[in-house]
Amino acid sequence: MTGKFIVIEGLDGSGKTTQTGILINKLREKGIKAVNQAEPTSGEYGKMCRDVLGGRKQCAKSQLALLFTLDRIDHNLNKEDGINYHLENGETVISDRYYYSTLAYQGIDVGASWLKSLNLDCRDIRKPDLCIFLDLTPQKSMERINAGRSAEEIEIYENIKALELIRERFRSIIEDLGESENIKVIDAGGSVEEVSREIENAVMSLY
């Protein structure tokens, strides 16, 4: 049986990593084989993306968008740890970020229609069975980021002005893709337990 492909999206600090880990454990408790993944990946292109995000390397905004897309294609096709590999083995894949983040973050700086075509029209980039967007205000996002990281760990998009633009981009993307894709918006401002219950209910509707 082919597994399910689920994406967890949201602003930095929205709880994606925490909720992905909780979801993985809940699925395994129910006897569902599940694997935890993230973008950027640990592959060649993913490492390059992380270097740019961390300010260790510089490149044009369009180049960064392409790096994310190349990393995503590899994320799908990697024969040892890719999305397709795990799904074909009957495992559910939970990915912390996917093309919605590229459309939101890089969409600020480069052509949105180009990015959309680059990702959604690529046959090697799979559409998720479900995308969960953890919605959080930019102010709350920055509070959580500042509480959890040192100044040296703050990435290039982690400031109020950028996060406000990115949240609006996410909302626009959800409105645009909502009729053709399964996207669930969840308020990430609640407790970890409250958010986790909503995510679990959305995910279990797939089974």
**Alpha helices, DSSP H only, in the chain?**
16-29, 44-53, 61-77, 83-88, 99-105, 112-120, 138-148, 160-177, 192-204
pLDDT at 91 over 80: yes
Cα 172 to Cα 206: distance, rounded to the nearest angstrom: 25
- Please, are residues 41 and 128 in contact by the beta-carbon 8 Å criterion? no
* Model pLDDT for residues 105-145, shown as the tens digit of each residue: 898 889 888 999 999 999 999 999 999 999 999 888 888 87
Pick the residue with more confidence: 69 or 54?
69
Is 184 contained in some domain?
A: yes
Per-position DSSP letters for 89-138, written without gaps between them? TT-EEEEE--HHHHHHHGGGTS-HHHHHHHHHT-TTSPPPSEEEEEE--H
* Model pLDDT for residues 16-56, shown as the tens digit of each residue: 999 999 999 999 999 999 999 999 999 999 999 999 988 89
- Please, are residues 115 and 65 in contact by the beta-carbon 8 Å criterion? yes
Q: What is the mean pLDDT of residues 183-195?
A: 96
Is 75 contained in some domain?
A: no
pLDDT class for 157, splitting at 50, 70, 90? Answer: low
Instruction: Return the DSSP state at 5.
Output: E
Model pTM score: 0.91
pLDDT of residue 138: 86
Is 189 contained in some domain?
A: yes
pLDDT at 151 over 60: no
Instruction: Return the DSSP state at 8.
Output: E
Determine which of 96-100, 132-136, 158-162, 174-178 has the lowest per-residue pLDDT on average.
158-162
pLDDT class for 184, splitting at 50, 70, 90? Answer: very high
- Please, are residues 129 and 7 in contact by the beta-carbon 8 Å criterion? no
**CATH number of the domain to which 20 belongs:** 3.40.50.300
pLDDT of residue 11: 92
Radius of gyration of the chain (CA): 16
pLDDT at 71 over 60: yes
Tokens of 127: 């559409």
Q: Maximum CA pair distance of the chain?
A: 46
**Residue 23 structural domain:** 5-38+87-114+126-204
pLDDT of residue 147: 75
Is 154 contained in some domain?
A: yes
| Total domains in the fold of the chain | 1
Determine which of 93-107, 116-130, 156-170, 172-186 has the lowest per-residue pLDDT on average.
156-170
pLDDT of residue 155: 61
Is 171 contained in some domain?
A: yes
Report which residue type is found at 92. Answer: T
- For residue 106, report the phi and psi dihedrals to the nearest 5 degrees: -75, -20
